[in-house]
Amino acid sequence: MNGVLGQTGVLLAFLGSLATVVVLGYGLMAHKPSLIRHGRGYSLVLLAGALLATVAMERALLTHDFSLAYVAANNSRETPLLFTITGMWSALQGSILLWGVVLSVYIGTLLFRTRRRPSDELPSWAILIASLVAAFFFALMLGPANPFVHVTGAIPADGTGPNPLLQDNPLVAIHPLFLYLGFVGFTVPFAFALASLITNRLDEDWVTETRRWTLIAWGFLTVGIVLGAWWSYQVLGWGGYWAWDPVENAALLPWLAGTAYLHSSIAQQRRGIMRIWNISLVVSAFSLTILGTFFTRSGILQSVHSFSDSSLGPFLLVFFFVAVGASLALIAWRGDGLRSERVIVPSVSRESAFFVNNVLFSVFAFVVLLGTTFPLLVEAVNGAQVTVGAPFFNSFIGPLGIAILFFMAVAPLLPWQKTNRALVQKRLLWPAMAAAVAVVVEIVARVHSPGQIFAYPMAVFAGAAALRQAVFHTIYSRRRKDGVAKFLFSRTNGAMLVHLGVVLIALALVSSAAYGQRGSLVLKPGQSAVFDGHTFTYHGVQTVVTPAKTSLEALISVDGSASFAPEVSQFGNNTEVVGTPAIRPGLIDDVYLTLDLPPKSSSGPATFGVVIQPLVSWIWISGGLMAVGTAIAAFGTKDVSPLESVEEELEVRKDESDPEVPVNT
């Protein structure tokens, strides 16, 4: 029953997406409003089919329908309810279904948002292109990624259960969802970008249309990446949160392209410049999500985060090249129209800062892409296997990160076009003074590492610049009597809150890398030891048996607190032993414990791994700040002109040909 419902849903979604493409495409080409309306309506068939398939899969998991091969391989009767539900995205076929249903929801939302504009060709073309992407993924589910294939032979009485690493922490319930909401969300800006090229509407309409969609996708992806780092930190037992793993990089790449677009789109909205940049960045963000799916779902890269080995690689790679090729062809076709009459004049201006910022993010993405794909290229050429580790990435990313922090600080404070030295000095005075104080503190603290010497003051500089903007908006809102609520939830303040989150993450990354301590303790029951200023007392072990797993817990207290319990576990019939760390979080540092070698007897010694991670909790806190800031930037009140005085407004306007008051969005 579940298999029949699921197959019906997948087929219905595929036919709905095809009908949308064919009918809507014909209506748009023939300029027939009735066909356009009907074509748009078929998107609801796509949505209904995707939801039916999803309900069928979850029903199969919850009822332990082991007649489906996917359920038998990723579920068991002992699997807890939460991880039974999350089993849908625990392996290849289910994750493709998740991609399809998320995309269908986005298309349905786009249809609803543009329901009062049925004659507007721009959103209709965008729905068509997004539906074409959906057709590809549901075609995969009808073929090599079918999640509703029945088992061959006798139906097993029980399944093998999910991968142990995927049933050891509740973050697996939300991390993939946010990641997919971000990944798939970039389809909508991509669809609008291509729609603008097809309709020759190359002005700022499509950018205005897609900025909120991009913010939503970018915000979801940001939260997904932070949650992924947190999951890695809490589950894998190595005491870190980012290892430049290929799958981590696959998520970072579209995030970088999306970040660059969000900044340069402001320049196009305000000055009508950077049109080719923006089209290219949106195409890159979407294309990199497909490439990332290829990395994670083809089995071509070995990663602790990748749980599939499949035949999907060629299909995904062909789709990637088709998407890139079609986009480049459309850009070349409309090349003349994409040229702006305005150019970026080298000057101390906001658009110049945005341009440099884009170059930095592009170089950042290129380094990550090169480091990720280089082993594949070497193996393809001469068959040799090489690895590219953290030292390669860190040697480039450190300087790039410092430069990005600098332009993140100065760009929002600069006026458009050009300005004079006095104006720049006025706006950067307090942030520069804060950075100078940070330098003095470094001297007193005898900081010697070149990375820290530059990173800390630059992070303080960027944070102070963001705070300056927020304080100024407070003063300006009072002056205009706009009300506190309008100030608090303005789009500029949302952006500044995101900037503050980035600054805090940068400080946490630098501090944990520079001052983190790792060690090993061998203790017998009742013994204590001191490591990096913390006292550890070992009390013994206990065995805990649940329907899902059998665990050996070691009880150890830190600084006289209640006992923590790092453990090793076996899940169900799986013979693999999985270690789970115990973490004492704190705003200053985290104490991270792993049971590296269990005792051979209850009175014997146990070996513990100890990691002291300074400020690492601020990464998760900052991720929350960035999520809130993104929501405010996407849905907050529209900003008024953030000019400090009438005199400054006149000073800026003297050098501006555009009579419109500059607006900081």
Domain boundaries, the chain: 1-162, 170-388, 416-515+621-654, 517-614
Separation of alpha carbons 663 and 389, rounded Å: 43
On the 0-12 / 13-18 / 19+ scale of CB atoms within 10 A, 527 is middle
**Intra-chain end-to-end CA distance of the chain, in Å:** 52
What is the identity of the amino acid at 663? V
Q: Hunting for tokens 């998107």 — which residue is that?
A: 43
Q: List the one residue out of 127, 113, 102, 116 whose CA is nearest residue 21.
A: 127
Residues 6+ apart with CB under 8 A from 425: none
Per the listing, tokens 């303040």 go with 493
Q: How many Cβ atoms sit within 10 Å of the Cβ of residue 49?
A: 25
Cβ(590)–Cβ(599) below 8 Å: no
Assign 311 to helix, strand or coil. Answer: coil
Q: Is 595:567 a contact under the CB 8 Å cutoff?
A: yes
Structure confidence at residue 194 (pLDDT): 96
Identity at 538, one-letter amino acid code: Y
CA-nearest of 323, 315, 321 to 133 is 323
CB of 280 within 8 A of CB of 324? no
Q: Is 481 left (phi over 0), alpha (psi -120 to 50) or beta?
A: left
DSSP letter (8 states) at residue 346: S
Tokens representing 562 are 């209640």
pLDDT of residue 15: 97
Q: Which residue has the tokens 């990354």?
A: 509
**CA distance linking residue 47 with residue 181, whole number of Å:** 16
- Angle in degrees, CA 507, 355, 129, rounded to 5: 100
Residue 81 in tokens? 């309810």
Place of tokens 């290849």: 92
d(CA 139, CA 10): 8
Residue keyed to tokens 């300087």: 399
pLDDT of the residue at 505 = 96
Question: Residue 562 and residue 555: Cα distance in Å, rounded?
Answer: 9
Q: What is the identity of the amino acid at 314?
A: P
Q: Provide the b/e sequence for 75-90 (b: ≥16 CB within 10 Å).
A: bbebbeeebbebbbbb
pTM tops 0.75 = yes
List, in sequence order, every beta strand (DSSP E) within 122-253: none
The candidate with the shortest Cα–Cα distance to 47, out of 110, 139, 2, 121, is 110
Report the DSSP pairing between strands 549-558 and 563-564.
Answer: antiparallel
H or E element, residue 100: helix 92-113
Please, are residues 224 and 175 in contact by the beta-carbon 8 Å criterion? yes
What number of other Cβ atoms are within 10 A of residue 528's Cβ?
Answer: 13
417 in the Ramachandran plot: left (φ > 0), alpha (ψ -120 to 50) or beta?
left
- Collect the ranges in the chain with pLDDT lower than 70: 298-310, 341-346, 418-420, 473-474, 476-488, 573-574, 639-665
Length of the chain: 665
**C-beta separation of 519 from 529 below 8 A:** no
Predicted local confidence at residue 313, as pLDDT: 84
CB atoms within 10 A of CB 604: 11
Residue 60 is given by DSSP the state: H
Instruction: Tell how strand 534-545 and strand 563-564 pair up.
Output: unpaired
- The residue written with tokens 């805090």 in the block is 504
Q: Where are the strands (E) in 252-361, listed by range?
A: none
Token readout for 325 is 């090729």
**Residue written as token pair 């065995």:** 543
The percent helix, strand, coil of the chain (3-state, each to 5) is 65, 10, 25
C-alpha span between 309 and 69 (Å, rounded): 15
Closest residue by Cα to residue 291 from 329, 325, 254, 248: 254
For 311, the token pair is 């035949």
CB 602, CB 525: distance < 8 Å: yes
Structure tokens at 596: 């590296």
CA atoms within 13 A on the CB side of 43: 30
DSSP state of 490: B
480 near 642, Cβ under 8 Å?
no
Q: Give the residue among 265, 253, 169 at the shortest CA–CA distance from 582.
A: 169
- For residue 646, the model assigns a pLDDT of 36
